[in-house]
Amino acid sequence: MDPVDAKVAWLAVLKHDRQFDGHFVYAVSSTRIYCRPSCPSRRPARHRVSFFPSAQQAETAGFRACLRCQPQSDQGSLHEQRIEQARQYLEKHPGETVTLRRLADQVGLSPFHLQRAFQRSLGLSPKAYQDATRIERFTALLKCGESVTNATYEAGYGSSSRVAERVTNTLGMTPSSYRSGGNGVTLRYTTVGTLVGRMLIAKTERGVVSVSLGHNEDDLVALLRKEYPQALLSHDPKGMKPEAQALLQCLNGERLSNAIPFDLQGTAFQRNVWKALRDIPRGSTRTYREIACEIGQPTAARAVARATATNPLAVAIPCHRVVRGDGHLAGYRWGLKNKKRLLALEQERQED
């Protein structure tokens, strides 16, 4: 958690400012009690006050919770409620430019604290989150048959040039191509047998765009066609032999070659998470919270879970190495059974 700005914190305490509840607690040396900023108790002398980012840290330092304001009861939940309110507000106003000040007023936080808290919790700033929501809405409208022009304005974009640039960078194709299910895009693919079933590898001109696992080739090709219904699928086992060999070697314990290009289509936050997943050592696991800490956003565990679930490259980006906080296996888009097999296989390789 970020350190507390003592000057700002003391002003909040003097004003009994509720918008700082959940951001820090203050402790009084003479009574050994800590309170939330809005506590109605009489204010102590400044020289007796110290600040802590959390109730837990205050208790570790030997202070006990105030019975009047009960600062330990909902410090985390207050924060989470306000961030959730902000998130919902952004999603309910996709066609509007919601300023940070307007959003902060809606949830009762200062713009400064909202920006930091939102970023920590969801891994994106409010502006970046609204941008991501617009793209999701835009692509959903295209899938429902809306024209590019109608989808552009329904999603809240002011011009077609803005949306064209953003969607092309995110999805790897133009809005028109995406609307037509990849029309004009050629996807070369191959399938190979592995110890965990069949593996399909597909690539665009820019690099590998999909790696999926399944029981048989027909099902895997059907899933690829569902994602890109109008793309030209070209079965090219000979031309894609280098990619297939590299991924098979990766399954056998070798590091994935950097010579294999990827066409990763995702937000900056997703790409940060996917990079962290690739850094997990073979035979090891990480929790969502640990990944959040590694990318410098320790309270963004839920956002990390969402990014992990949308990973398009099985094995290449080893999202199977991420587990829940209690150590149990979480879901896996290619099946929990395959996740167990992959982890068991890696553990066996480590022991050999």
Predicted local distance difference test score (pLDDT) of residue 246: 93
CA atoms of 71 and 24, how far apart (whole Å): 9
Give the residue numbers annotated as catalytic, written as ranges. Answer: 35, 319
Q: What single-letter amino acid sits at 68?
A: R
Fold category of 74-179 in CATH? Arc Repressor Mutant, subunit A (1.10.10)
Q: Residue 177: what pLDDT? A: 56
Question: What pLDDT score was predicted for residue 192?
Answer: 96
Task: Return d(Cα 251, Cα 282) in angstroms, integer.
Answer: 10
Percent of the chain with pLDDT over 70: 84
DSSP state at residue 172: S
Percent of the chain with pLDDT over 90: 33
Among 106-115, 133-142, 235-244, 268-277, name the one with the lowest average pLDDT: 133-142
Integer Cα distance of 238 and 82 in angstroms: 54
Domain spans of the chain, in order of start: 6-73, 74-179, 186-248, 268-351
246-303 confidence digits (pLDDT tens): 999 988 878 887 778 888 777 778 888 999 999 999 889 999 989 988 887 777 788 8
What is residue 34's predicted lDDT score, i.e. its pLDDT?
95
pTM over 0.85: no
Task: Tell me how crowded residue 352 is: count the other CB atoms within 10 A of its CB.
Answer: 6
pLDDT, one tens digit per residue, over 65-91 is 998 888 876 555 566 778 888 988 888
Confidence (pLDDT) at 79: 67
Q: What is the CATH number of domain 268-351?
A: 1.10.10.10
- Confidence (pLDDT) at 82: 80
To the nearest 10 degrees (0 to 180), the angle between helices 268-278 and 301-309 is 80
3-state secondary structure of 71: coil
Residue 345 has pLDDT above 60, yes or no: yes
CB–CB of 197/217 below 8 Å? no
Q: Quick one: pLDDT at residue 87?
A: 85
pLDDT greater than 60 at residue 2: no
Grade residue 183 by pLDDT with cuts at 50, 70 and 90.
low
User: Quick check: 236 pLDDT over 90?
Assistant: yes
Type and span of the H or E element at 58? helix 55-60
**What mean pLDDT comes out for the span 42-69?**
90
Q: Is residue 178's pLDDT more than 80?
A: no
Give CATH superfamily name and number for 6-73.
DNA Methylphosphotriester Repair Domain (3.40.10.10)
134/5 Cα distance (integer angstroms): 35
Q: Please choose, from the candidates 123, 141, 153, the residue with its C-alpha nearest in 3D space to the C-alpha of residue 288.
A: 123
The highest-confidence range among 12-21, 37-46, 82-91, by mean pLDDT, is 37-46
The CATH H-level superfamily of 186-248 is Methylated DNA-protein cysteine methyltransferase domain (3.30.160.70)
Beta bridge partners of 193: 198
Q: Which of 341, 270, 41 has the alpha carbon at shortest distance from 26?
A: 41
Distances from the Cα of 267 to the Cα of 140, 184, 306, angstroms = 17, 23, 12
Question: In sequence order, what are the residues at sequence separation of 6 or more whose Cβ sits closer than 8 angstroms to the Cβ of residue 20?
Answer: 9, 12, 37, 38, 113
Exposed/middle/buried for residue 12 (C-beta within 10 Å: 0-12, 13-18, 19+): buried
| Tokens at 331, concatenated | 């879901």
Distance CA 86, CA 107 (A): 6
- Strand 197-203 relative to strand 208-214, pairing: antiparallel
pLDDT, mean over the chain: 83
At 180, the pLDDT band (50, 70, 90 cuts) reads very low
DSSP structure string for 290-327:
HHHHHTT-TT-HHHHHHHHHT--BTTTS-GGGEE-TTS
DSSP bridge pairs for 9: none
**At 1, is the pLDDT very low, low, confident or very high (cuts 50, 70, 90)?**
very low
Q: Does the pLDDT value for residue 138 go beyond 70?
A: yes
Shared fold status for 186-248 and 268-351: no
